[in-house]
Structure 1
Amino acid sequence: MQAILRQARASGLSRPQLARPGVLRAPLLSRTLVTKRYTVEHEAVEYDDATGLGIVCITDHAQSSLGDVVFVELPVVGTEVHKGDQIGAVESVKAASDIYAPVSGTIEEVNEELASQPGLLNKSPEAQGWLCKIKMSEPTEMEKLLTEEAYKDSWA
């Protein structure tokens, strides 16, 4: 057995890659990197490098500042947007606020539930209250957005 391991190491194979007759190997797993970044305008985007999609939402801080949300205007699916473009608006009992694209790309999907349940932005702004999904054209734009710590420092 040690001779087989030495031979495998010499050929560059690691232990899990060793093949023996009659033994099934586990399939190779791919790793997906999900990154979440923020803007100073209180939008957040969660980017999945496997799909190329960025899920856009407002932050919990934004929803608490707005108060009870009563209406959400969302972008149209298929619209091409550039970082900083207005993509929608949120109206609450206190104020109205525009939503800006944190990244560039094409709107792939919008959260239709917000039309009948705008309060989802208050209950779960960064999960159930997501706004849209953008197929990102420039994934490197994520690097220019704020980390969670930097975002919190920007309004603290």
Structure 2
Amino acid sequence: MKDDIKSKLDAAFEKHEASKRSAAEAKQVAETKEQIFSREFIQARDTIIRPAMEEIGGYVKGKGYSYEISTEDDKPSPDGRSRSVPASVRLTIFLGERRYQVHENPGFSVICEKGQQKVRFHECTMSPGRGGHAGPAGEATLSQVTKDLIQEKILKVVAEVFR
């Protein structure tokens, strides 16, 4: 093989290796950003979101209804094939006996979207034997998440459920 062919092959392989290194570095930076955001979400969940939900839950309890606050931490999907289960927190309100699964009752969730560096809100006004809806309720940056924002969004769900 001619030296000039070897040089061109070496150049092609060097370019390819540099591209692989650059992609690996970019992936590491993205993972680091996601890890930081996940940590910050969990801190906000524990210090802002959950306490805001507990205040609403306590008020609901005073009116004769029970509630539950559940959390999830970021983890791989149970089937191992789909995307991971994101960190989240959910306030569920029980209108009657707790014989139905949590997702079959009205509630409000705050979900960590680490890839987009945002939190997503989900509301559910459905309950057994009643109509209602379930779906997205907006999104926000983590810095926009306040006790007031969370409670206003939950108020919207409660007002619709108890109308």
TM over 0.5: no
Bin for the TM-score computed over the shorter chain:
under 0.3
* Bigger relative contact order (CA 8 A; separation at least 6): 1
